[in-house]
């Protein structure tokens, strides 16, 4: 299959291109598109064949459900069996935006889209290209992140091309995304809202508007004793081919440990990568140093993480060291992705 790549103006998407892309979705094809979080791989959410194609293109296990992207609230009402008050409140506060809600589905949504579950994940993205594509297609769009299963989510169209060229119809290239971490997922099917995947919108923000909310304990657990509730969160994810070691402790000790470890690895002829926020250190020659962003700028750190993990694969780094990236607001989300990428390999110094 030939994959066409079309450059679109993120703020002012050209309607002719969007119409063509919408036609592809309508006819059961697949289009990758930018959202404010990461690129998505879209297909018609109520067409079971489209969902099957999405799983095949990504190599994704079929028990891992997709998120249905909508452009107005009436679309949500058309695919759920009931609309809890909490959903209305959250939509008013955070939509369009980086929040996904889990609700009870009705018969409109096929099990192919929900991975066999009786619940459905729904999100109204804020990216103008995403919204225009949903409107032009006349469909609700099922879209997982547009990466090969297991790889870091794509934050640029090039990342999508790298993974899915030849496997999908079209990529809409809207440049680098703004947030760089996938949406916060909140489950509203129980009496208390539970965040299944931390993201740019925090548990505290949800608690502020709903009065209650907690983080799924399976997300915080460093071992596999408590299984996460979102099927996708149990899979190995984001991992580059090289082994990541997160070094935790006081700055000075972290620096000393890393200098030592990197020096000896390079002496053994290994290719070594480093994720750091500290530009004041001189690292051993040959280290692939990635300045992820200033420690005070957590949004830059979030936006750069997945791209950096992909860079390490391109340069075939075997060992990767990273600082802990515990930033104040979205640190939970950033560390959730980094810990998964590292297989929870943390050294305390």
Which 8-state DSSP code applies to residue 280? S
CB 113 within 8 A of CB 65: yes
- Which positions ≥6 away from 278 have C-beta within 8 Å? 251, 255, 295, 323
For the bound state, the minimum distance from the C-beta of residue 272 to ligand TXA, rounded and expressed in Å, comes to: 30
**Which stretch of DSSP H or E encloses residue 19?**
helix 15-26
Q: Which residues of 176-187 are buried (b: 16+ CB within 10 A; e: fewer)?
A: ebbbbbbbbbbb
Q: Note whether 57 binds ligand TXA by CB under 6 A.
A: no
Q: Note whether 40 binds ligand TXA by CB under 6 A.
A: yes
CB 166 within 8 A of CB 4: no
CA-based nearest residue to 335, from 343, 346, 320, 324:
324
- Which positions ≥6 away from 277 have C-beta within 8 Å? 291, 292, 293, 294, 295, 301, 323, 325
Q: Note whether 100 binds Mg ion by CB under 5 A.
A: no
Q: Which is nearer to ligand TXA, 131 or 254 (CB)?
A: 131
Residue with the closest Cβ to ligand TXA? 232
Q: Which is nearer to Mg ion, 37 or 145 (CB)?
A: 145
Q: Note whether 145 binds Mg ion by CB under 5 A.
A: yes
For the bound state, the minimum distance from the C-beta of residue 174 to ligand TXA, rounded and expressed in Å, comes to: 12
**Total site size for Mg ion, rule CB under 5 A:** 1
- Which positions ≥6 away from 25 have C-beta within 8 Å? 31, 42, 43, 44, 50, 133, 137, 139, 141
Q: Note whether 123 binds ligand TXA by CB under 6 A.
A: yes
**Total site size for ligand TXA, rule CB under 6 A:** 29
CA-based nearest residue to 324, from 305, 313, 224, 151:
305
For the bound state, the minimum distance from the C-beta of residue 178 to ligand TXA, rounded and expressed in Å, comes to: 11
Q: How far is CA 217 from CA 119, 189, 201, 324, in A?
A: 20, 17, 18, 20
Q: Note whether 303 binds ligand TXA by CB under 6 A.
A: no
CB 180 within 8 A of CB 305: yes
Q: Note whether 233 binds ligand TXA by CB under 6 A.
A: yes
Q: Which is nearer to Mg ion, 136 or 163 (CB)?
A: 163
Q: Note whether 149 binds Mg ion by CB under 5 A.
A: no
Q: Note whether 121 binds ligand TXA by CB under 6 A.
A: yes
Q: Which is nearer to Mg ion, 22 or 125 (CB)?
A: 125
Distance CA(64)–CA(283), nearest Å, equals 41
Q: Note whether 304 binds ligand TXA by CB under 6 A.
A: no
Residue 127: exposure state from Cβ atoms within 10 A (0-12, 13-18, ≥19): buried
For the bound state, the minimum distance from the C-beta of residue 128 to ligand TXA, rounded and expressed in Å, comes to: 14
- Candidates 50, 51, 100, 336; binder of ligand TXA (CB under 6 A) is 100
For the bound state, the minimum distance from the C-beta of residue 110 to ligand TXA, rounded and expressed in Å, comes to: 13
For the bound state, the minimum distance from the C-beta of residue 108 to Mg ion, rounded and expressed in Å, comes to: 24
117 binds, among Mg ion, ligand TXA, none (CB under 5 to 8 A by kind): ligand TXA
Which pair of structure tokens corresponds to residue 85? Answer: 């008050």
**Contacts (CB under 6 A) with ligand TXA, residues 211-230:** 230
- Candidates 47, 50, 51, 119; binder of ligand TXA (CB under 6 A) is 119
Q: Note whether 304 binds Mg ion by CB under 5 A.
A: no
In the block, tokens 């999100």 appear at: 123
Please calculate the CA angle 164-186-103 and round it to the nearest 5 degrees.
Answer: 90
- Candidates 45, 67, 172, 335; binder of ligand TXA (CB under 6 A) is 67
Q: Note whether 182 binds ligand TXA by CB under 6 A.
A: yes
- Candidates 25, 45, 131, 143; binder of ligand TXA (CB under 6 A) is 143
* Chain contacts with ligand TXA (rule: CB under 6 A): 35, 37-38, 40, 64-67, 100, 102, 114, 117, 119-121, 123, 125, 143-145, 182-183, 185, 196-197, 230-233
């Amino acid at each position: 299959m030939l994959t066409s790549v079309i450059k679109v103006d993120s703020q002012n998407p050209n309607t002719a291109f969007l119409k063509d892309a919408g036609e592809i979705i309508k006819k059961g094809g697949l289009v990758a598109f930018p959202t404010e979080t990461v690129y998505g791989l879209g297909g018609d959410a109520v067409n079971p064949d489209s969902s099957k194609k999405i799983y095949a293109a990504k190599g994704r296990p079929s028990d891992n459900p997709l998120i249905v992207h909508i452009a107005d609230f009436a679309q949500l009402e058309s695919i759920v069996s009931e609309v809890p008050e909490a959903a209305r409140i959250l939509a008013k506060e955070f939509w369009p935006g980086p929040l996904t809600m889990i609700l009870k589905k009705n018969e409109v949504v096929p099990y192919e889209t929900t991975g066999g579950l009786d619940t459905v994940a729904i999100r109204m993205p804020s990216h103008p290209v995403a919204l225009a594509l949903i409107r032009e297609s006349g469909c609700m769009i099922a879209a997982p992140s547009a990466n090969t299963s297991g790889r870091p989510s794509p934050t640029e169209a090039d990342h999508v091309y790298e993974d899915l060229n030849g496997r999908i119809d079209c990529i809409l290239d809207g440049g680098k995304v703004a947030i760089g971490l996938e949406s916060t997922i909140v489950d509203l099917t129980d009496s208390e809202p539970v965040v299944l995947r931390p993201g740019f919108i925090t548990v505290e923000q949800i608690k502020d508007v709903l009065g209650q909310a907690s983080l799924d304990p399976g997300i915080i657990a460093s071992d596999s004793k408590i299984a996460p509730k979102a099927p996708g969160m149990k899979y190995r994810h984001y991992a580059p081919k090289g082994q990541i070691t997160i070094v935790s402790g006081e700055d000075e000790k972290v620096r000393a440990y890393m200098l030592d470890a990197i020096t000896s690895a390079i002496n053994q002829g290994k290719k070594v990568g480093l994720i750091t926020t500290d530009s004041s250190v001189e690292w051993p020659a040959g280290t692939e140093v990635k300045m992820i962003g200033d420690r005070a700028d957590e949004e830059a750190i979030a936006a750069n993480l997945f791209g950096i993990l992909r860079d390490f694969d391109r340069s075939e780094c075997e060992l990767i060291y990273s600082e802990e990236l515990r930033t104040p607001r979205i640190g939970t989300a950033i560390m959730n992705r980094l810990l998964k990428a590292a297989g929870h390999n943390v050294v305390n110094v």
